[in-house]
């Protein structure tokens, strides 16, 4: 799958949105990749995650466990694990708290794990996912995502592979270009949404 094929999956699914978005990091952007529109279509998800599994195998070799940050990472993590012949586990947050590995999940000694994210913007979620795994016995050998929108500047603390690298502009909320400031801001992601 070429980078253009990947973008066409997002475009044709209606998952490449334009407007004024508040990202998980608090940064603002005129562009949002609505991965859940992709993941609501199993055939599309399979095509993308099969391609990601191939990239992961090429870069990192044998993988036993895929670990993903909830919520966005769970579906691509599972589907990528299916193509890798690996297990799929995830880390999750108590509201507002750090990621933790729960539900009896672990990375046992000798296991080779990879973090699978959906989208990387700053790399913060993947970094926090890695931090939550520091006491696991097995080795986290790398990270992967469908789209790296950081222009390759997202810092994970691990080698990161993706299907596409894009350099999509982001802005601090106090330094918005006027055309962005003129639009109402929406926050599509789950981070820091407080419990009802
Ligand atoms: O690289 P970053 O700056 O961390 O941004 C990317 C993260 O933002 C989104 O998650 P979000 O926190 O919106 O929650 P979700 O996974 O529940 O949608 C996305 O799923 C990535 O995890
Ligand atoms: O940075 C984010 O929060 C983010 C960006 C994006 O394009 N898509 C997404 O799901 N999250
Ligand atoms: Mg996420």
Q: How far apart are the first and last CA of the chain?
A: 41
- On whether residue 161 sits in a domain, the answer given is yes
In the structure, ligand 3 is a single-atom ion and the residues with CB under 5 Å from it are 72, 125
Is 186 within a domain? Answer: no
Residue 194 included in any domain: no
Ligand 1 pocket test, pick from 36, 150, 191 with the greatest ligand atom count within 8 Å of Cβ, gives 191
**CATH number, domain with residue 44:** 3.40.50.2020
Is 156 domain-assigned? Answer: yes
Domain assignment of residue 117, yes or no: yes
Residue 191 is assigned to a structural domain of this protein: no
Q: Is 149 in the pocket of ligand 1 (CB under 6 A)?
A: no
Does some domain include residue 196? Answer: no
Structural domain of 69: 3-181
H helices of the chain, in order, are: 3-13, 35-39, 42-60, 74-84, 124-131, 178-181
Determine which of 48-52, 162-166, 188-192 has the lowest per-residue pLDDT on average.
188-192
Is any ligand 1 atom within 6 A of the Cβ of residue 165? no
Read off the pLDDT of residues 38-64 as tens digits, 9 standing for 90 and up. Answer: 999 999 999 999 999 999 999 999 999
Q: What is the pLDDT of residues 126-150, one digit of tens each?
A: 999 999 999 999 999 999 999 999 9
The answer, yes or no, to whether any atom of ligand 1 lies below 6 A from the CB of 121, is yes
Place of tokens 């699978």: 116
Query: What gap in Å lies between CA 142 and CA 139, rounded to an integer?
Result: 9
Q: How many domains does the chain fold into?
A: 1
Provide the β-strand partners of residue 37.
none
ipTM above 0.95, yes or no: yes
189 inside domain: no
């Amino acid at each position: 799958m070429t980078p253009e094929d990947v973008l066409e999956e997002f475009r044709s699914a209606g998952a490449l949105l334009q407007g004024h978005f508040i990202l998980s990091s608090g940064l603002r952007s005129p562009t949002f990749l609505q991965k859940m529109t992709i993941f609501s279509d199993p055939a599309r998800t399979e095509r993308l995650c099969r391609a990601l599994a191939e990239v992961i195998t090429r870069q990192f070799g044998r993988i036993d466990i895929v670990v993903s940050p909830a919520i966005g990472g769970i579906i691509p993590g599972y589907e990528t694990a299916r193509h890798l012949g690996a297990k799929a586990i995830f880390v999750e947050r108590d509201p507002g708290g750090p990621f933790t590995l729960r539900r009896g999940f672990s990375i046992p000694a000798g296991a080779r794990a990879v973090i699978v994210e959906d989208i990387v913007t700053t790399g913060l979620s993947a970094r926090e996912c890695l931090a939550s795994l520091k006491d696991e016995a097995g080795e986290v050998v790398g990270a992967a995502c469908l789209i790296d929108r950081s222009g390759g500047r997202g810092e994970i603390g691990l080698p990161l592979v993706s299907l596409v690298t894009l350099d999509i502009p982001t802005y601090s909320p106090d330094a918005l270009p006027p055309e962005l400031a003129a639009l109402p801001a929406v926050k599509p992601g789950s981070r820091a949404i407080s419990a009802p």
